[in-house]
């Protein structure tokens, strides 16, 4: 898979392939869309939800969570489903864009920081363009891969034989966002099967950055 993608874009493709598994080529997009539009149910006392499958990654690695305040994963999903329902059934899920108030922080493209814009879009309650299907697919994609936490906001996952690493950046106020840069690592001092068990810092394990 391409390495010039941002974390949300890469994980969206992982999520698409996961939801489309077993569907004939001509029905893959239709099956994925139907899965994304299933209702998401909040679970008491946890950050995850019951959705197209149970989403547990926000509770397993809290450093991955960019949203804060009144936002929740079920609300994020519901708001983006509403945007997705408003476009035609045959729309390219990776090209759908629509305005929304309140960035989730999953997609840096729709979560600018005040240093970039000169003002805070969240404080102004300003609508911003988002890519709803990409965000929804990334939520599923992250549930489909083993997770790695190097430190609190230095996180990653294992996919396609590699360890992928990215930062969760400070945004405005208590909000954060996934970075736009995804780095691929090659393990040099530990087998991949051991890396997949990590849910906290790598500790003494060595990893060599490859790109």
Per-residue pLDDT of the chain (211 residues; tens, 9 = 90+): 557 899 999 999 999 999 999 999 999 999 999 999 999 999 999 999 999 999 999 999 999 999 988 899 999 999 999 999 999 999 999 999 999 988 999 999 987 776 555 545 566 567 789 999 999 999 999 999 999 998 999 999 999 888 999 999 998 777 899 999 999 886 543 455 455 455 443 433 334 444 4
Distance CA 33, CA 16 (A): 9
In the block, residue with structure tokens 């997949």? 196
Task: Give the DSSP letter string of 104-152.
Answer: -SS-GGG---HHHHSS-HHHHT-EEEE-HHHHHHHHHHHHTS-EEEEET
Which has the closest alpha carbon to 171: 113, 107, 124?
113
Q: Which residues contact 93 (CB under 8 A, 6 or more apart)?
A: 16, 29, 32, 33, 36, 84, 133, 134, 137
Report pLDDT digits (tens) over 90-124: 999 999 999 998 899 999 998 777 655 554 556 65
Distance CA 45, CA 58 (A): 12
In the block, residue with structure tokens 């430190």? 151
Report pLDDT digits (tens) over 56-78: 999 999 999 999 888 999 999 99
Distance CA 31, CA 192 (A): 32
What is the reported pLDDT for 114? Answer: 61
Q: How far is CA 107 from the centre of its chain?
A: 7
Please state the pTM of the whole predicted model.
0.85
């Amino acid at each position: 898979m391409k390495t010039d993608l941002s974390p949300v874009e890469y994980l969206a493709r992982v999520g698409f392939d996961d939801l489309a598994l077993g569907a004939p080529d001509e029905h893959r997009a239709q099956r994925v869309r139907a899965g994304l539009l299933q209702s998401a149910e909040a679970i008491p006392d946890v950050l995850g939800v019951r959705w197209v499958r149970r989403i547990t990654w926000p509770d397993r690695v809290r450093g991955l969570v960019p949203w804060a305040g009144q936002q929740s994963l079920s609300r994020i999903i519901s708001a983006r489903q509403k945007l997705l329902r408003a476009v035609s059934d045959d729309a390219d899920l990776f090209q759908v864009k629509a305005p929304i108030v309140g960035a989730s922080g999953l997609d840096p493209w729709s979560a600018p920081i005040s240093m970039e814009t000169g003002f805070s879009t969240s404080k102004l309650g300003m609508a911003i363009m988002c890519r709803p299907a990409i965000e929804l697919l990334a939520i599923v994609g992250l549930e489909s891969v083993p997770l790695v936490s190097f430190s609190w906001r230095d996180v990653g996952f294992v996919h396609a034989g590699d360890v992928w690493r990215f930062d969760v950046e400070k945004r405005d106020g208590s909000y954060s966002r996934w970075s736009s840069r995804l780095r691929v690592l090659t393990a040099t001092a530990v087998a991949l099967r051991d890396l997949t068990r990590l849910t906290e810092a790598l500790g003494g394990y060595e990893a060599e950055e490859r790109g």
